[in-house]
Amino acid sequence: MTTVQSPVPASAAPVSGRARGAGARGAAWLRVAGGLLAVLGALLPWATFVLNEGPYPEKATLQFFVAPLGLTGFRLHLALLGLAAILVSVRAVRGRARIVRALGWGIVATSLVNGLYITVEGGGLGAITASGGSAAFGAVVALIGGAFAAAGAVGGGIEPLPVREWRMPWWAEWLLLLVLFGLLLLVVSAVLTSGGQGGVVNPYAGAVFLSFLAAAGGAFAALHASGLLTWLAAVAERHRVFSIVVLLVMALLLPLTGAGTEYWMTVAANIGVYAATAIGLNIVVGLAGLLDLGYVAFLGIGAFVAANLSGAAASEIGIRLPFPLVMIISAVVAGLFGAVVGSPTLRVRGDYLAIVTLAFGEIFVRSAQNNIGGLTGGANAIPNIPQVSAFGTAFNESIAIGAVTLPAGVLYYVLIVLLVAVVMLVFGNLKNSRLGRAWIAIREDEDAARAMGIRTGPIKILAFLIGATLAGLAGAFFAHKTAVVAYDSFRFLESVTLLAAVILGGMGTIPGAVFGASILFVLPEKLREFADYRLLLFGLALVVIMRFRPQGIIPDRHRRTELAPVTAQDPPPAKGAEA
C-alpha cells in the first residue's frame, strides 16, 4: 500500500513564533481599541438636532439623558460592553477572543439599533444634513469600536469553553441560584415595564426594547463563550427540585414588581395559556417527532366544551358545572379527539401526516364558524362566560392583601402559573419514562424502533392523546379568562405560532416551550411602536434566532449534539490513502 502525499504549498509553510506573537499582540491591541471606542461613543453626542420638541441632550436620545446622573439607557449598555471588552482583552482570560467577539457584536447591534432610530426620528439623514446637524455621531464611533473588537477576535473559534467542575457547598449553590433567579425576576420586570408605567408612557418603548435585546444578546453570548452559563446550568441541574421551586416562587412574585399591572397580568396569563399548550405540542413534535399543523384545534375544543358547560347564556346545553369539573371534562374530550386524529398515524408519516392534521384543524375552524349543532355560536361566538370565583371573590377583580393592592386579573395569573407547573410536571415525568424514551426512539428512526419491539402505532396515538389533553386543559382556562370563545381565536395561524414557539424555544425541553411562547407574545407587544414595520421586525428576529441557534434557544442534549457547530478543533477527515 502506498500513500500519496500532496506537496505542501509555500503559503502553508509554518509561521515563525515571532510572527505569531506579533499577530496576537496586534489582535489584542485591536480588541482594546474597540472597547475604548465603544466607551468613547457612549460619551459623545448622538444627535445635534432638535428632536421631540427639545434640544440635545434632554430629548435627543432614546431615554432621557441628564448629565448629573451619568450614563443611562443604551449609553450605559455600550459603556459596560466596552469596559468588559477592555478588561477581558488585557487579562489572561482563557478564550478571551471568543468573549470579546461576542461583546463586539453586541456593541455593533446596539449602535445600529439606536443610531438608525435616532436618524429616522430626526426626519431622516437628508433632513438632518439640511439642518446642519450630525446624525448619530456617537453611533458611528461606537459602531467602529464594535467592529474593531469583533475583528480582533477573528480565528478564536465559536465553541464554548469546557465546563469547569467548580464545586461549592450545597448552601452556597442554593444561595447562588436564589440570587440568580431573583435577578432574572428583576430583569423580566424591567423589560416588561420599559414602555412606561404609572400612567407615563415612554414614546421610545419599542426602540428601548430592541436596544436592550441587542446589548443583552451580546452579554449573554459572552457569558456563554466563557463557559459560565454552562456551569450555572450544571449547578441548576444538580439542584433541580430547588431550582423549580424557586422559579415557581419568583413567577408568583411577579405581580409585586413593576409589571404588576392589569395589562401585563392579562398578557402574562395569555402567555401561560400558550406555554401550557406548547408543552403539550412538544410531546407530539419534540418527543415523538410527529408534525402537527392543526394542534390549536384541541385548544379550541377544550375552550368550546368549557363554554358550553359554564352556564353561558348562549350555551345550548344550559348547565353550569364547577370550574374544576369543567376543566377535567374539557381535557378528556380534547384528548378523545386527539386519539381520533392520531389514528391515521398508523398509516401515514412525515408530510402526509402534516396534511392530515392541517385538514383536521381546518375542519374544526369551519365547523365552529358554521355553528354545527349550535355548540359553537357561529359568527356570534359564545359570550358572557361566567368568571371563576373562590370564597366570594371573582378572579377578574383586584384584591388587597394588607397594605398591598394587587391588580385585576392577578388570580387568573396565579392560576395559570400553577396550571403550567402541573403541565411541566407531567411532561417531565413522561419524558424520563419508558414511554418518553419510546417516543424519542420513534422520532429518531421509526423503522428501527419498530424492529426493536416498540409498538409504534399505539405509542404515537398516545402522544396525540396526551398532548391534546393538555391543550384542552389550557383551553378551559382560556374560555373563562377571556369570557368569550370565538372561532377566530383558533385559526391556522395560531397553530403555526405554537409550532414556532416549540421550535424556537427548543424541541423536547420544558423551558424551551415556555421561553418560546414568551418570545412570540412579548415581542409583538413591545414592537407596537413600529406599527408599519412590526411584523417585518418580528420576522427578522425569528430568522436571526434560527440562523444562530438552529437547535433552539434552550435545546435538550440530543438536539444540542445533533446540531452542534463544527469547530476548528474537530479532527479533519482522513485524506485518501490509495493502494
Q: Which tens digits make up the pLDDT trace of 28-51?
A: 788 889 999 998 888 877 765 544
Cα–Cα separations (whole angstroms), residue 220 to 57, 80, 137, 230, 361: 30, 13, 27, 11, 39
Read off the pLDDT of each residue in 53-59 and give the average, rounded to a whole number.
43
Cα–chain-centroid distance for residue 66? 33
Which of the pair, 560 or 575, is modelled with greater confidence?
560
In degrees, to the nearest 5, what angle opens at C-alpha 401 toward C-alphas 400 and 403? 85
Q: How far apart are CA 403 and CA 144, in angstroms?
A: 52
- The identity of residue 253, as a single letter, is L
Residue 4's pLDDT is 44
Q: How far apart are CA 258 and CA 363, in angstroms?
A: 43
Binning pLDDT at 50, 70 and 90, where does residue 364 land?
confident
Residue 22's pLDDT is 58
Output 392-397 pairs: Cβ under 8 A, ≥24 positions apart.
Answer: 395/480, 396/483
Spell out a b/e string for 255-265, using b for 16 or more CB atoms within 10 Å of the CB, else e: bebebbbeebb
- Whether the pLDDT of residue 149 is over 70: the answer is yes
Cα–Cα separations (whole angstroms), residue 430 to 144, 436, 438: 51, 5, 10
- Whether the pLDDT of residue 303 is over 80: the answer is yes
411-429 pLDDT, tens digit each: 999 999 999 999 999 998 9
Residue 37's pLDDT is 92
By DSSP bridging, strand 393-394 and strand 389-390 are antiparallel
Q: 57 and 46 in contact (C-beta within 8 Å)?
A: no
Residue 43 DSSP symbol: H
Average pLDDT along the chain: 79
Residue 189's pLDDT is 84
Residue 63's pLDDT is 41
- Whether the pLDDT of residue 277 is over 90: the answer is yes
Q: What are phi and psi of 200, to 5 degrees?
A: -100, 120
Read off the pLDDT of each residue in 274-299 and give the average, rounded to a whole number.
91
- Whether the pLDDT of residue 66 is over 60: the answer is no
Binning pLDDT at 50, 70 and 90, where does residue 538 land?
confident
Can you read off the three cell numbers belonging to residue 123?
426626519
Cα–Cα separations (whole angstroms), residue 564 to 58, 160, 286, 338, 437: 47, 11, 18, 34, 22
Residue 563's pLDDT is 62
Binning pLDDT at 50, 70 and 90, where does residue 121 land?
low
Read off the pLDDT of each residue in 457-479 and give the average, rounded to a whole number.
93
Residue 240's pLDDT is 86
Read off the pLDDT of each residue in 285-295 and give the average, rounded to a whole number.
89
- Whether the pLDDT of residue 3 is over 60: the answer is no
Taking Cα atoms as reference points, which of 85, 111, 108, 38 lies closest to residue 225? 85
Percentage of residues of the chain with pLDDT beyond 90: 25
Which of the pair, 515 or 345, is modelled with greater confidence?
515
- The identity of residue 428, as a single letter, is G
Residue 394's pLDDT is 86
- Whether the pLDDT of residue 450 is over 80: the answer is yes
- Whether the pLDDT of residue 344 is over 50: the answer is yes
Can you read off the three cell numbers belonging to residue 308?
358550553
pTM comes to: 0.81
Residue 24's pLDDT is 66
**100: helix, coil or strand?**
helix
Residue 226's pLDDT is 83
313-330 pLDDT, tens digit each: 778 787 889 999 999 999
Handedness of CA 297, 299, 303, 305 (dihedral sign): positive
Which of the pair, 210 or 197, is modelled with greater confidence?
210
Percentage of residues of the chain with pLDDT beyond 70: 79
Binning pLDDT at 50, 70 and 90, where does residue 474 land?
very high
**349: helix, coil or strand?**
coil
Residue 60's pLDDT is 46
Q: 168 and 177 in contact (C-beta within 8 Å)?
A: no
**384: helix, coil or strand?**
coil
Residue 195's pLDDT is 55
Bridge partners for 383 per DSSP:
none
Residue 578 has a CB neighbour count (10 Å cut-off) of 8
- Whether the pLDDT of residue 381 is over 70: the answer is yes
Residue 170's pLDDT is 87
Which of the pair, 381 or 328, is modelled with greater confidence?
328
Q: How far apart are CA 341 and CA 61, in angstroms?
A: 54
Annotate 228-281 with DSSP letters as a single string.
HHHHHHHHHHHTHHHHHHHHHHHHHTGGGSTT-SHHHHHHHHHHHHHHHHHHHH
79-120 pLDDT, tens digit each: 899 999 998 888 766 667 888 889 999 999 998 888 887 777
Ordered domains of the chain (ranges, CATH): 24-161+175-195+211-231 (no CATH), 260-525 (1.10.3470)
Taking Cα atoms as reference points, which of 417, 396, 389 lies closest to residue 474? 417
